Amino acid sequence: MQVDWSIYISFIGVGLILLLPRDSKTLIRWVALLTGVASLLVALRGYFAYNAAVNDLIAATGQGFVHVVNRPWIPSLGISYHLAMDGINYPLVVLNGFVCVTGILFSWNIEERVKEFFAFFLTLIAGVYGVFMAMDLFLLFVFYELAIIPKYFIISIWGSTRKEYGAMKLVLYSFVGSALVFIGILAAFFAAGGTTFNILELASKHSFSRDLQIWVFPLIFVGFGVLAGMWPFHTWAPTGHVAAPTAASMLLAGVVMKLGSYGCFRAAMLLFPEGLAYWKWWIAWLAVIGIVYGAAVALVQKDFKFIIGYSSVSHMGFVLLGLATLNVIGMSGAILQMFSHGIVASLLFAVVGRMVYDRTHTRQLDELGGLAKVLPFACVTFVIGGAASMGMPGFSGFVAEIQVLIGAFGMSPWLVVGAGIGIIITVAYILNAIHKVFFAEEEHGGAGDSHGHGQGETGASRWSVSPISLPEKVAAVILMSLLVIIGVYPPIMLNMIKANVELFLRGAQ
Amino acid sequence: MTGAPYLEVFKALSAETMLVVTAFIALTADLVSLRRKDRVERYRGVGTITIIGLLAAIIPLWGQLSSEPVSLLGGTLVTGELVALFKLVIVGLTVITALISMDFDLGRHVGEYFATMLFGAIGMMLLVSTEELITIFVALELTSISLYILTAFHKGELRSQEAAVKYFMFGAISSAFLLFGLSYLYGVTGTTNLRVMQQAAGSSSSSLLSAGLLFVIVGLGFKVAVVPFHLWAPDAYEGAPTPVTAFIATGSKVASFFVLLKVMMIGFAGMEGSAYWCNFAPGWTMLLAVVATLSMVLGNCAAIVQRNVKRLLAYSSIAHAGYILIGLIAATQMGAASVLFYVIVYALTNLGAFGVVAALSSRAGGDNMENFNGMARRAPFLSLLMLVFILSLAGIPPLGGFFGKFYLFAAAIQRDAQTFGLLWLVIIGILMSAVSLYYYLILMKHLYVIAPSETTRISTPAYVNGTLALVALGVILLGLFPEPILALLNRLVVRL
A42 contact partners, CB below 8 Å, separation of at least 6: A1, A2, A3, A5, A6, A9
CA distance B135 to B75: 9
**pLDDT recorded at residue B349:** 94
State the burial class of residue B38 (Cβ atoms within 10 Å of its Cβ: 0-12, 13-18, 19+).
Answer: exposed
Predicted local confidence at residue B472, as pLDDT: 95
Cβ pair A183:B426 closer than 8 A: yes
> Rg of chain A's alpha carbons, rounded to an integer?
22
Lowest pLDDT segment from A125-129, B355-359, B490-494: B490-494
B431:A171 CB<8 A:
no
- For residue A206, the model assigns a pLDDT of 64
Residue A455: is its pLDDT beyond 50? no
Angle A137-146/A148-158 helices, nearest 10 degrees? 10
Q: Which amino acid is at A91?
A: P
- The proportion of chain B whose per-residue pLDDT surpasses 70, expressed as a percent, equals 98
Whether residue B401 has pLDDT greater than 70? yes
**H helix runs in A391-490, sequence order:** 396-411, 413-438, 447-451, 470-488
Instruction: Dump the DSSP string for B70-89.
Output: EEETTTTEEESHHHHHHHHH
Residue A449, pLDDT > 50, answer no
Give the confidence band of A447 by pLDDT, cuts at 50, 70, 90. Answer: very low
Q: What percent of chain A has pLDDT over 90?
A: 26
The pLDDT of residue A457 is: 45
Q: What's the mean pLDDT in B225-234? A: 89
Q: Which residue of A has its CA nearest to B427?
A: A183
Which residues have C-beta within 8 Å of that of residue A194, sequence separation ≥ 6? A77, A78, B414, B417
B490 CB near a chain A CB, below 8 Å?
Answer: yes
DSSP letters, B280-306, are: EESSHHHHHHHHHHHHHHHHHHHHHT-
Cα B203 to Cα A153, B188, B199, B217: the distances in Å are: 59, 11, 7, 22
A151: nearest CA partner in chain B: B441
Q: Indicate if the pLDDT at residue B397 is higher than 90.
A: no
Cross-chain Cβ contact A190/B413 below 8 Å? yes
Q: What's the longest Cα–Cα distance across chain A?
A: 76
* Of A141, A183, A189, Cβ closest to residue B430: A183
Kindly list the residues from chain A whose CB atom is less than 8 angstroms away from the CB atom of residue B400: none
Q: Is A98 or A463 the better-scoring residue by pLDDT?
A: A98
The reported pLDDT for the residue numbered B204 is 60
Q: Give the C-alpha distances (Å, rounded to integers) separating A83 from A255, A258, B38, B403.
A: 19, 18, 59, 20
B434 touches chain A (CB under 8 A): yes
Reported ipTM? 0.89
How much is the pLDDT for B2? Answer: 53
pLDDT at A450 over 50: no
Element (H, E) at B459: none
Among the ranges given (A459-468, B262-271, B444-453), the one the predictor scored with the smallest mean pLDDT: A459-468
Q: Mean of the pLDDT values across residues B154-168?
A: 88
* Chain A residues lying within 8 Å of B441, measured CB to CB: 152, 168, 171
**Closest chain B residue by Cα to residue A155:** B449
Which of A14, A164, A175 is the mutation pick for testing B, counting most B CBs within 10 A?
A: A175
How many CB contacts within 8 angstroms connect chain A with chain B? 77
Residues with Cβ within 8 Å of residue A437, at least 6 apart in sequence: A304, A356, A365, A368, A369, A371, A382
**Record: contact B409-A149, CB cut-off 8 A:** no
Distance (Å) from the C-alpha of residue B454 to the closest C-alpha of chain A? 17
Helix (H) or strand (E) holding A111: none
Q: Are B273 and B280 in contact (CB under 8 A)?
A: yes
Q: Which residues of B touch A174 (CB under 8 A)?
A: none
Residue B419, pLDDT > 90, answer no
Q: Which residue of B has its CA nearest to A170?
A: B438
Per residue in A371-423, pLDDT tens?
777 888 888 888 899 988 888 888 888 889 899 999 998 888 899 999 999 99
Choose the closest CB to A76 out of B398, B445, B486. Answer: B486
Choose, out of A190, A197, A209, A236, the residue to mutate when testing the contact with B (most B CBs < 10 Å): A190
Residues in contact with B395: Cβ distance below 8 Å, sequence separation at least 6, in sequence order: B401, B402, B404, B405, B406, B433, B436
- Separation CA B351–CA B332 (nearest Å): 28
User: In 3-state terms, what secondary structure has residue B331?
Assistant: coil
Residue range B457-489, pLDDT digits in tens: 888 888 999 999 999 999 999 999 998 899 888
Out of A22, A76, A171, the one facing B441 most closely (by C-beta) is A171
Instruction: Give me the pLDDT at residue B18, please.
Output: 92
pLDDT of residue A453: 47
What is the 8-class DSSP label of residue A79?
A: E
Question: What is the least distance, in Å, from the CA of A146 to any CA of chain B?
Answer: 6
Per-residue model confidence as pLDDT tens digits over A6-24 = 899 999 999 999 888 888 8
Averaged pLDDT for residues B293-300: 93
Burial of A223 (0-12, 13-18, 19+ CB in 10 A): buried
Cα dihedral A9, A14, A19, A25 sign: positive
What contacts B409, CB < 8 A, 6 or more positions away?
A: A182, A186, B326, B426, B429, B430
User: Residue B268's pLDDT band (boundaries 50, 70, 90)?
Assistant: confident
For an interface test with A, which of B277, B334, B402, B406 has the most A Cβ atoms less than 10 Å from its Cβ? B406
**pLDDT confidence bin for B202, thresholds 50/70/90:** low
Task: Judge whether B222 and B177 are in contact, CB under 8 Å.
Answer: yes
Mean pLDDT of the A486-495 span: 88
**Confidence band of A448 (pLDDT split at 50, 70, 90):** very low
- Residue B172, chain A, CB below 8 Å: the answer is no
Residue B54 has pLDDT above 90, yes or no: yes
Asked if B189 and B206 count as a contact pair (C-beta separation under 8 A), the reply is: no
| pLDDT > 60? residue A452 | no
- Distance from the Cα of A51 to chain B's closest Cα (Å) equals 33
Backbone angles phi, psi at A293, to 5 degrees: -60, -50
Interface touch B490/A76, C-beta < 8 Å? yes
| Confidence (pLDDT) at A164 | 85
Mean pLDDT for B245-259 is 92
Give the one of B380, B398, B437 whose C-beta lies nearest to A142's C-beta. Answer: B398
Q: Helix, strand or coil for residue A83?
A: strand
Q: Answer whether B430 sits within 8 Å of A179, measured CB to CB.
A: yes
* Cβ-count burial B47-74 (b if 16+ within 10 Å, e if not): bbbbbebbeebbebbeebbeeeeebbbb
Mean pLDDT on A447-475:
63
Q: What is the mean pLDDT of residues A297-313?
A: 89
HSE at residue B350, side-chain half, CA atoms within 13 A, is 33
Residue A233 distance to chain B (closest CA, Å) = 16
Q: Let me know how many helices (H) and strands (E) chain A has, helices first.
A: 24, 2
Q: Closest approach of chain A CAs to the CA of B340, in angstroms?
A: 16
Q: Does B431 touch chain A (CB under 8 A)?
A: yes
In the predicted model, is pLDDT for residue B427 greater than 60?
yes
Containing A71, the helix (H) or strand (E) segment is strand A66-74
Query: What is the DSSP track for B218-275?
Result: HHHHHHHT-TTS-THHHHHHHHS-HHHHHHIIIIIHHHHHHHHHHIIIIITTT---EE
What are the tens digits of pLDDT across the range B103-139?
888 878 888 899 999 999 999 999 999 988 999 999 9
* Interface contact flag, A186 B409, Cβ < 8 Å: yes
8 Å CB contact of A149 and B376:
no
Distance of CA B395 to the CA centre of its chain: 18
User: Is the pLDDT score of B79 beyond 90?
Assistant: no
Nearest-neighbour CA in chain B from A336: distance (Å) = 30
> How far apart, in Å, are the Cα atoms of B388 and each of A126, A155, A187, A401, B113?
17, 19, 29, 43, 30
Burial class (CB in 10 A: 0-12, 13-18, 19+), B201: buried
